[in-house]
Structure 1
């Protein structure tokens, strides 16, 4: 029901008017493992592929460029049969229109991006919120039907635009209320307030002590690993006790948890260990001589990434004074940095494959849902295996970095359009009430194409 002028593309950039006929701008995409193009494509019927030729699983028809089932009473654009390892299989291919969709973003950083539940904006419009932090990463939830269709037209459009660019592996700048501005791109390091992140933390302060305590013993009298979540003190920590680390009389200004583990030593921020401090000594109280403090006692303070470190020695008044870092201690700091993984952004597309699109697969849609839940029908997105959530419906997630470029589209509803494939045996497909009369052989699809012509593109991965 869209109007497209002669020689122009539609608002969705997916269809155009050529000579009075609607054509598909992006052709049907075929994933061919036998064609070496440099990009690794994982055929969705051979997820455990080890690089060797596997009969029947070399060529698959993805849903990229296939078109939709809209209006949904009709069968999916392509229902393809082929034999795989002696089994007659059917793959139903459609580009699904997702009004109920969004992305979950994992940002590898200890920097404070914003408080939990803080609103996230793109180009001034609220498109999501900050989720709970995970181990060395900040999490965002973006999109969803309320932002796409429940607010103003501008909010819906800006949300759809940000989701589309994120899913197509483009860089998107996000501003967090009361927090930072971060540039997110799937597979790339995050850029926080203009500074690219280099590494994840090796662990929390407590875990860092557990990993490196034995390597510090004999080199330094005390080690404090500064961390926004759990700051560690080696002389008090169980790891230190096991190797007979002597008490030092140190006092930490924080909330003591179990021995050697402290919470809330500072507020979250962009400084040491994801805190707001620039001076690590600000988290220390007065040293206690009765508990082991003495002049000449040495102290290493280090962050969980090794990015920040400092060496101190107590003077006659038991005040820590900065000293040059000994070479052997610098090596341990470098070892922390070496054990940190590179920082990256992960973008997971999440959508509910429910509603009427299921009628493009079967005349009785509940049967498809039940078959997916029984794992008799496999769900993929652009050829990539999707994680299907337990419980009702077909709620799926997929890592967009694994998909071919340009796999996602949109419609002005606004909603995202994502490639979706359902694969099962022919016997199961018939049993769930599938559109058996329009099943086509793979060779026929490759030769004749579909409703919008026979154009196709082939993407391949090296053997």
Structure 2
């Protein structure tokens, strides 16, 4: 018997319950769980003959100076004396709250509290997201792989490379087709990768026809075993524009090598404004506008995200009629300042590498200083669908309209989200702004993410919300809920405001 099948069993609705096991209805798997064991998700267990949400309900304290550490608030079995420290700044998140499954159930917690004179309601639930994925932004000028190349984890396809942006490589991972539309192995690998990425754990991604990348949110990428240090300051042309004045009078020519746009200072408009003299240089590439060249090399892991290790390979013959002369000096540098070299033309107008002069060291350091640190950003993207919205109101479309009218503010574990325009509630959140281990999974497979909807109480009533289920924050802290095991309080990150729209909600003229 496998470890998984030993840990849980599932049955069709209506089947006889197995002796000494309790059926959990928190997700569609409907596990039967024995005493002291957990379901397939590791989130719910049989504790003392009842189904318990094993992770604690997380309450954010926006005044706590805990540095982000979780501290016990009310542990199971302890008495609560009825006192709240600064209750107006507490926010009950959906982390550890439980789900709305099956769909007809109201959300696990519908919390009422007054904040700055505004009577607010926050509807709290852990959503089961089959329609979800992550967008990964990797700050590096290294070439990771061609656009649309398949991204694999443990040999299984989990996403693809998408269009690169300024100084960053972009990946799109997950989505319903990888989670449920392929083989079971593909679905498991996708779910596992998404869960680890969202919980800020490292994941090794293999890109077809490209690199192997270790991605961890908030950390620099590791590309083919090498830890990246910085992203590029800009393309070669932008680098010329930013630093041309630093080179004026110190060197005769500067070439900034870049996979996208290689810059040449003597031809560039920035150089012309500074009255830079022509040098007779010739770049092997496709000239775009003066001083800007495309396709000097194929993309790769070399200088400026190209395949080259010798920057002289992008130069053609020098033209004496246009300014080339023996002794002419040239700096070649990459867009991160990691690679640089100094040359002088000999009597045959051939560039000869010379010791790097101290007079140019400052300008190279300036490029490095202006580069952002290499970083991986992971954005969770999910569509809040039927059961989520039904847990808020009996007429789910009202919630969608309320969100788009800015009547309802959406958060994930207390972190602000971006809600995409158009139909539905498609949201995107930076996982580094969400408390640790906020995401879970169910083996359907799908991700479980905390989600909160906050609005004025009168707005909630107008939406057709589950008014009878509204409870005060004091009551929730004191008594918990159906599956609640314990409560923890967490010092909220200072960049997550609460509530961000309280000033707007205070006025009658708020958007409707």
Q: TM-score range by the shorter chain?
A: over 0.9
Q: Which residue of 2 aligns with 1:14?
A: 43
Match of 2:33 in 1: 4
Native 8 Å contact 2:97 2:484 kept in 1? no
Q: Is 2:229 the partner of 1:195?
A: no
Q: Say yes or no: does 1:27 pair with 2:70.
A: no
Residue 172 of structure 1 corresponds to which residue in structure 2? 203
The CA distance in 2 between the partners of 1:3 and 1:386, in whole Å, is 35
Find out whether 1:237 has 2:268 as its counterpart. yes
Q: Is the 8 A contact 2:285 2:295 kept in 1?
A: yes
Distance between the aligned counterparts of 1:25 and 1:180, measured in 2?
39
* Partner residue of 1:100 out of 131, 150, 160: 131
Q: Describe the SS at the equivalent of 2:164.
A: coil
Matched, 1:452 2:483: yes
8 A contact 2:393–2:464 mirrored in 1? yes
Aligned pairs (5 A) from 1:72-221: 72-221=103-252
Aligned structure 1 segments of 4 or more residues deviating by more than 3 angstroms: 54-57
Q: Structure 1 unaligned runs (5+)?
A: 42-53
Distance 1:381 1:57 in 2: 20
CA contact 1:40–1:462 (8 Å) conserved in 2: no
Please give the root-mean-square deviation of Cα atoms over the aligned residues, in Å: 1.4
Instruction: Find 2:312's aligned residue among 281, 286, 297.
Output: 281
**Does the CA contact (< 8 Å) of 1:40 and 1:461 recur in 2?**
no
* CA distance, structure 1, for counterparts of residue 69 and residue 269 of structure 2: 46
Task: Decide which of 63, 67, 72 is 1:38's aligned counterpart.
Answer: 67
Between the aligned partners of 2:418 and 2:63, the Cα distance in structure 1 is: 26
Cα drift, residue 462 of structure 1: 8.4
Q: Whole-Å Cα distance in 2 between the matches of residues 317 and 462 of structure 1?
A: 63
390, 395, 399: which one aligns with 2:430: 399
Task: Report how far residue 5 of structure 1 moved.
Answer: 2.2
- CA–CA distance in structure 2, aligned partners of residues 186 and 224 of structure 1: 34
State the 1:36 CA deviation.
2.4
Q: What is the 5 A alignment of 1:236-385?
A: 236-385=267-416
Structure 1 Cα separation of the partners of residues 281 and 309 of structure 2: 20
Deviation digits for residues 307-341 of structure 1 (CA, Å, limit 9, x no counterpart): 00000000000000000111011111111111111
TM-score under structure 1 normalisation? 0.96
- Compute the displacement of 1:35 (Å): 3.0
- Report the Cα offset of residue 55 of structure 1: 7.3
Listed one character per residue, the Cα deviations across residues 52-94 of structure 1 (whole Å, up to 9, x for unaligned) are xx97651110000000000010100000001111111100000
Looking at structure 2, the residues matched to 326 and 34 of structure 1 have their Cα atoms a distance apart, in angstroms, of: 53
The offset of 1:205, in angstroms, is 0.2
Distance 2:271 2:484 in 1: 70
Unaligned 5+ runs, structure 2: 1-29, 71-84, 495-512
Shift of 1:356: 2.7
| CA distance in 2: counterparts of 1:330 and 1:302, whole angstroms | 11
Q: How many residue pairs end up in the alignment?
A: 451
